Structure 1
């Protein structure tokens, strides 16, 4: 745990390696995913090799930031004490237009307002000077 997470009380992602690169794009207001140069598939979480074709060649490619709620759960009793004041909250799996699924949250939506297929778009939430977490908001599209 670094100093920023101690101040905030919640665990933060490590800003190193490929994950660090992913979050650095977010700090610039961009949602980017790795795209395999071999088969063209997008992937998340960042990793060295494509899970589909095994290619080690890839590029960071911009995302539309648009997607749909794929699934969620409601947390009534958090396992980590730093999240106790947030309960109940809903971790959401968003399926982006590029086919990538990612775990996040919908900022402007109570858990009982979520629905499968709800249109969402990325909205970055500033946590520290270096960390902007990709979250989502409801979208009309």
Structure 2
């Protein structure tokens, strides 16, 4: 039996992030994984969405290194989570240009910082080769 979806699913998502949990929804009718949290399933229109906890393991589907003036580049990546949903985030702990399509990553939740909500980021599951760290 699924718990009823609250009228503001984003609030429930952030509450779970506050507890260190990367959550997503699964449709009880069509079984689709749903992310970003919603009130109805985008696949079948059902309102029977149940919260699930992601193990946080995934694969980089696409990546870009964004360069800011007077700051180090940072990554923006689309990550396919093993539970069947895709999300946009950053891969941290390695240079932005060392992030590769197909790289296995693990989610971690960065806690609230002032007015910024907690947010999931990803770290590589395996060590990045030294030559990739040097940008060569």
Question: Could you tell me the TM-score, scaled by structure 1's length?
Answer: 0.76
Distance of 1:137 and 1:74 partners within structure 2: 15
Match of 1:17 among 1, 8, 12: 8
Distance of 1:135 and 1:55 partners within structure 2: 29
State the Cα distance separating 1:85 from its structure 2 match: 5.1
Q: Does 1:100 align with 2:91?
A: no
- Stretches of structure 2 that go unaligned for 5 or more consecutive residues are 1-6, 127-136
Cα-Cα RMSD: 1.9
Distance of 2:89 and 2:124 partners within structure 1: 13
State the Cα distance separating 1:127 from its structure 2 match: 2.7
Q: Does 1:66 align with 2:52?
A: no
Question: Could you tell me the TM-score, scaled by structure 2's length?
Answer: 0.79
2:75 counterpart SS class = coil
Match of 2:17 among 26, 31, 45: 26
Asked which structure has the greater CA Rg, the reply is 2
Structure with a larger share of its residues in strand: 2
- Stretches of structure 1 that go unaligned for 5 or more consecutive residues are 1-15, 78-83
Q: How many residue pairs get matched?
A: 119
